[in-house]
Amino acid sequence: MGEPAEYDRIGDRYSEAKQQPFRICLEAYTLERLAGDIAGARIVDFACGDGFYSRRLMRRGAAETLGIDASAEMIALGRRAEAMDPLGCRYAHGDVAGSGELGTFDLAVAAYLFNYASTRHELRRFCKVAFQSLRPGGRLLGVNDFTDDGASGVRDFSAHGFRKTGPEPCVEGTPITYEFILPEGRSFAITNYFWRPETYVAELRAAGFASAAWHPFAVSEEDRDAFPTDFFADLLLRQPLAAFEARR
Ligand SMILES: C[S@@+](CC[C@H](N)C(=O)[O-])C[C@H]1O[C@@H](n2cnc3c(N)ncnc32)[C@H](O)[C@@H]1O
């Protein structure tokens, strides 16, 4: 399993870090553009965290969302948001790898789950659970660590609120650290694991998905114009994170 206890300690700060402009203008924009029209869709949100995507997708017309997360604190944040502003999101506390029968969904979302697999076996299990949760023709969409540059050391995106360090060495299963920078000199770190982009695709196909592909983060013209020139250029060029899509 990943590090849910880590999120029990940092849940509120992670939610705060989710307010960076790139989260909405690149990450959510790319994922939701891939999702397209989701009116009436039944959606499972793996590693839902505080319900960031569950809530956005309900607002976009989904019929139902079921969020699953291994951190009790993140689930509590999601339920609190639901209590304050009810949208109909449901949440369950648990490890995705150990999930039993969850139901059958039109769309599965995995925003930063797969990069929590510390072994190839666990990555395979995540892919299998996602496959089994979908109806034939259903899709899995995600955003994830994306490391295809062979780079180790620090990649500094502090203008966007984070720094990425590792893998060191550049071997699959090796940790990657993300340090998130918050106002007033505060910061916190999380640990993901390095898998090559082609390994994710291979495991999705091995789980039974008919197709699987990466999609670079993009920005709408409107948001590009709303920020200083080239504000997002380094993220768009270096793509330290990316989206993926797989169809059952
Ligand atoms: C980077 S956060 C992303 C949260 C949310 N998807 C978002 O985009 O805001 C990663 C989440 O994955 C959860 N997680 C890690 N391993 C997990 C597992 N095996 N099963 C369920 N949740 C897991 C953590 O508890 C954490 O909430």
Is 7's C-beta closer than 6 angstroms to any atom of ligand 1? yes
| Angle subtended at Cα 98 by Cα 113 and Cα 210, rounded to the nearest 5 degrees | 60
Domain assignment present for 74: yes
Domain assignment present for 79: yes
Residue 174's pLDDT is: 96
Place of tokens 């607002």: 59
Q: Which domain holds residue 33?
A: 4-146+195-247
Q: What is the CATH number of the domain that holds 100?
A: 3.40.50.150
Is 11's C-beta closer than 6 angstroms to any atom of ligand 1? no
Please give the chain's pLDDT, 248 residues, in tens: 445 578 988 888 999 999 999 999 999 999 999 999 999 999 999 999 999 999 999 999 999 999 999 999 999 999 999 999 999 999 999 999 998 889 999 999 999 999 999 999 999 999 999 999 999 999 999 999 999 987 889 999 999 999 999 999 999 999 999 999 999 999 999 999 999 999 999 999 999 999 999 999 999 999 999 999 999 999 999 999 999 999 99
Q: How many domains does the chain have?
A: 1
Domain assignment present for 156: no
Rounded distance from Cα 70 to ligand 1 centre (Å): 7
Residue 220's pLDDT is: 95
The minimum-distance atom of ligand 1 relative to the CA of 111 is 6
Domain assignment present for 183: no
Domain assignment present for 167: no
Rounded distance from Cα 160 to ligand 1 centre (Å): 21
- 46 vs 49: CA distance, rounded Å: 9
Residue 4's pLDDT is: 59
**pTM for this structure?**
0.96
Residue 149's pLDDT is: 82
Rounded distance from Cα 179 to ligand 1 centre (Å): 16
- Ligand 1 mutation target, pool 13, 116, 146, most atoms within 8 A of CB: 116
Domain assignment present for 211: yes
- 208 vs 121: CA distance, rounded Å: 15
- 201 vs 182: CA distance, rounded Å: 33
Q: What is the H or E stretch that residue 93 is in?
A: strand 90-93
Domain assignment present for 137: yes
Is 47's C-beta closer than 6 angstroms to any atom of ligand 1? yes
pLDDT in tens, 133-185: 999 999 999 999 999 987 889 999 999 999 999 999 999 999 999 999 999 99
Is 27's C-beta closer than 6 angstroms to any atom of ligand 1? no
Is 91's C-beta closer than 6 angstroms to any atom of ligand 1? no
Domain assignment present for 177: no
Q: What is the H or E stretch that residue 14 is in?
A: helix 4-17
Residue 9's pLDDT is: 86
Is 69's C-beta closer than 6 angstroms to any atom of ligand 1? yes
Q: Provide, rounded to the nearest whole percent, the portion of the chain with pLDDT above 70.
A: 98
Residue 218 CB neighbours (<10 A): 16
